[in-house]
Amino acid sequence: MRFFTLLLLGMSALCVDLFVREAAALDAFSPNLLVVLLLWLGASRDWTEGALAAAVLGLLNDGFAGSPPGAYMLHAVLLFYVSRALASRVRFQGILGRLPLGIAGALASLFLLALIGRLFLGDTTFTERVVGLLFPRLLVVLVAVPLVFPLLDRVDSLLVRRPDTDLL
């Protein structure tokens, strides 16, 4: 059940991102909530469940973005592994703890997109577009991480089954 909830949250993040980008014409400053969700997955899930969810969400992002299949999937899985490695070394709690995770995650996300674009999509203008998105996406992810992480923690705590306790 938790896995399907992660997929539902990912689809919601992709839909909100697409809606804000198209309706408000905010291409550069549209909220990249999937990156925030992937960072949260790295901070809160184990390796197998998180990597599988990241792969599926990345493949869905390929469909939303119209990119070649696997480009965003590779990006999502690598970003999950980077955030999981960071979260296993450092404890990111509170707003001040989540800000460095947001900075590191946004920079890692853009670096991975530029690297994947240069290696696999070398004949396109994908890498130049990623460089143009550096400051806006960094700013949006930096603001979104401290705000969205508590909401995702709350949704996750609602889905955790607690053993029945005897009130007597």
Q: Is the pLDDT of residue 167 over 60?
A: no
Cα–Cα separations (whole angstroms), residue 126 to 11, 27, 95, 130, 140: 23, 14, 33, 6, 20
Q: Domains of the chain by range and CATH?
A: 2-159 (1.10.1760.20)
pLDDT-derived band at 77, boundaries 50, 70, 90: very high
Distance CA 26, CA 57 (A): 22
Distance CA 68, CA 122 (A): 13
Work out the average pLDDT over 95-123.
76
Question: What burial class does residue 163 get, using C-beta atoms within 10 Å of its C-beta: 0-12 exposed, 13-18 middle, 19+ buried?
Answer: exposed
Most confident of 8-12, 93-97, 105-109: 8-12
Q: Is the pLDDT of residue 168 over 60?
A: no
Distance CA 82, CA 38 (A): 10
